[in-house]
Structure 1
Amino acid sequence: MTDHIDHTDHTDHGRLIVRGEDRPGIVASVSGALTEYGANIVSLDQTSSDPSGGRFFQRSVFHLPGLSARLPELHEVLEQRLGEELGLEFRLVEARKRKRAAIFVSKVDHCLLDLLWRQRRGELPITIPMVVSNHPDLGDEVRAFDIPFFHVPVEKGNKQAAEKEQLNLLKGNVDVLVLARYMQVVSGEFLDELGVPVINIHHSFLPAFVGAGPYQKAKDRGVKLIGATAHYVTEDLDEGPIIEQDVVRVSHRESVRDLQRKGADVERLVLARALAWHAEDRVLRDGNTTVVFGVTP
């Protein structure tokens, strides 16, 4: 089942995200707790890595009149029923509260501008409190969307100072950070101190064509697919849990410039999907993989 609630009408809708060791009775307990409290379940998705001792994951969307005021009490009910009795982890959120997504970018603008445009049109259920860049080039374009732009240069050999300034801007002000073709490696210390998920986008030529000029290298090898990958960032570069991927076909007739254009198109789409799914609490991390609910292949 998938929910079809419009992004603009989340009044009194909540999301309940549940995970833990699979066992009989979890679905009945979740449904029973919500129903007994007066909530109407709108949609429910679930999966298990193994019905015998595997990992259980569930995402429920429900409607409850006066949700904002009743959320603390509902949380207490769920803590007893799910946490104490079943040993499950859960997260309870109001769907109307949009996640605050800051964006890091360098000089390449296609992913950045696509996210800004989609957010302004209401296609992404987020707010964008700021854009931060290690170059000043895109400042005017960002400000045209009435979004604050901060230039934080990264001096060679002194990345720590830049990350400290970035953390001062971000901490307490964002729920997720998006690297929209940000051409700097973020440190493990930065990720730990930031304490919110970080999503990155890159071409899917890795690990075959690393370093500079990947599209030229791909052209030289006669690739037939151009792709992009969006993933959560970990200290291991480009090895975090994957959220979304897509490809387009190409042929020998296309130039390197054509490949780059098609690559940019698929990067935009993949990053927008990944961010939307994260903002809607559809993506559950499980070690180095993910469960993504409500997405039709």
Structure 2
Amino acid sequence: MALLKPDFVLLVSCVDRKGLVAAIATSIAAQDCNIVESAQFDDAVTGRFFMRVAFTAPETMTTDRFNEAFLSVGAAYDIEWNVFDLKVKTRAIVMVSKGGHCLNDLLYRTATRYLPMEVTSVVSNHLTWQRRVEHEGIPFYHLPVTAENKAEQEARLRDLIREQKADLIILARYMQVLSDDICRELTGRVINIHHSSLPAFKGAMPYHRAYERGVKMVGATGHYVTADLDEGPIIAQDVSMVDHADTVEDLIAQGQETESRVLTRAVKAHCEHRVMLNGHRTVVFK
């Protein structure tokens, strides 16, 4: 039997209290909606409660209408919540430098509708992938970055985000560090792929250093970007096994495949509204 596809997703965060789940479910049912997915997590350390509810709804339902009806429950339990209409795809700007493996995977997964997002443009500090991107009918913006023009180019990036109404910025092996200011402005809206299982092997030439250390696996980490370099909340991680006979080139090839897989997984979770920030950590609902 085919499962019902939800129309909306509700994300809830608050201090855990008796009767909370029942109140949320009752409010949803009272709006003639039907819950088809529900997951929750109670953080015993912080006492914080997290919940993701996906539900079908009447055709007349809107996020504004739902929020208005849910307001009394939200106030009674001091809930922080967001509701998302799943007909509305996440609008994403992808940023890339010379390495295109993650970009190519994102474009393919978007074209096949595996990722519920719309790539509004690709921004790069190099021209390497311009023809590939424009072949897909996606606008390409070349914003070369130097020490002298970094502030000017970030101002242009802000303009693009505003003009395109972008919900998400994806750093698909974009090899420039964003300023602290823009990281703070875009908290929870920028996903980066890091070329190791953080916190290991930060910085340049990670696969060479991993090879020198004789690692038995290489990994990748998809995480939200913060002002603290490579310290943002982790969304997804994975590894691939390494053999003693593997060369640096083998490690790089395995690492790039892992990076592509992990970044796509992190982006998919974000676009499906499965990720909630929990301090320096995340709650990722399956």
Same fold (TM over 0.5): yes
RMSD (Å), alpha carbons: 1.8
Per-residue CA deviations over 1:180-221 (Å, capped at 9, x if unaligned) read: 000000012122344661000011165553443221221121
| Aligned twin of 2:242 | 250
Question: 1:202-241 maps to which residues of 2 (within 5 A)?
Answer: 202-204=194-196, 207-241=199-233
Check the 8 A contact 1:233/1:239 in 2, yes or no.
yes
1: CA distance, partners of 2:214 / 2:77:
54
Question: Residue 71 of structure 1: CA displacement?
Answer: 3.5
| Aligned twin of 2:97 | 106
Matched, 1:147 2:121: no
Amino acid paired to 1:34: I
CA separation of 1:24 and 1:177: change in aligned 2, threshold 3 A: same
SS state at 1:38 partner: coil
2: CA distance, partners of 1:203 / 1:157:
28
1: CA distance, partners of 2:196 / 2:237:
8
Check the 8 A contact 2:196/2:206 in 1, yes or no.
no
1: CA distance, partners of 2:87 / 2:212:
49
| Aligned twin of 2:160 | 169
Question: Residue 98 of structure 1: CA displacement?
Answer: 0.7
1: CA distance, partners of 2:3 / 2:154:
39
Matched, 1:119 2:110: yes
Matched, 1:54 2:47: yes
Check the 8 A contact 2:197/2:221 in 1, yes or no.
no
2: CA distance, partners of 1:165 / 1:196:
20
Amino acid paired to 2:93: A
Check the 8 A contact 1:167/1:194 in 2, yes or no.
no
Check the 8 A contact 1:105/1:112 in 2, yes or no.
yes
* Match for residue 17 of structure 1 among 11, 30, 35: 11
SS state at 2:268 partner: helix
Amino acid paired to 1:214: P
Per-residue CA deviations over 1:126-145 (Å, capped at 9, x if unaligned) read: 00000000111110011111
Matched, 1:44 2:22: no
Corresponding pairs, count: 284
2: CA distance, partners of 1:49 / 1:176:
27
CA separation of 1:210 and 1:239: change in aligned 2, threshold 3 A: closer
| Aligned twin of 2:149 | 158
CA separation of 1:61 and 1:110: change in aligned 2, threshold 3 A: same
Amino acid paired to 2:266: A
Question: Residue 154 of structure 1: CA displacement?
Answer: 0.7
Matched, 1:63 2:60: no
| Aligned twin of 1:30 | 24
2: CA distance, partners of 1:89 / 1:4:
29
CA separation of 1:4 and 1:238: change in aligned 2, threshold 3 A: farther
Amino acid paired to 1:156: A
Check the 8 A contact 1:209/1:218 in 2, yes or no.
yes
Percent of residue pairs identical: 42
* Match for residue 189 of structure 1 among 181, 186, 193: 181
CA separation of 1:67 and 1:249: change in aligned 2, threshold 3 A: farther
CA separation of 1:197 and 1:81: change in aligned 2, threshold 3 A: same
| Aligned twin of 1:91 | 82
CA separation of 1:32 and 1:106: change in aligned 2, threshold 3 A: same
Per-residue CA deviations over 1:75-102 (Å, capped at 9, x if unaligned) read: 11111112x1111111011111110011
2: CA distance, partners of 1:290 / 1:152:
32
SS state at 1:130 partner: strand
Per-residue CA deviations over 1:197-247 (Å, capped at 9, x if unaligned) read: 100001116555344322122112111010000000000000000000000
CA separation of 1:88 and 1:206: change in aligned 2, threshold 3 A: closer
2: CA distance, partners of 1:67 / 1:17:
21
CA separation of 1:62 and 1:209: change in aligned 2, threshold 3 A: closer
> Which 5+ residue runs of structure 1 have no aligned equivalent?
none
1: CA distance, partners of 2:25 / 2:110:
33
SS state at 1:41 partner: strand
> Which 5+ residue runs of structure 2 have no aligned equivalent?
none
| Aligned twin of 2:123 | 132
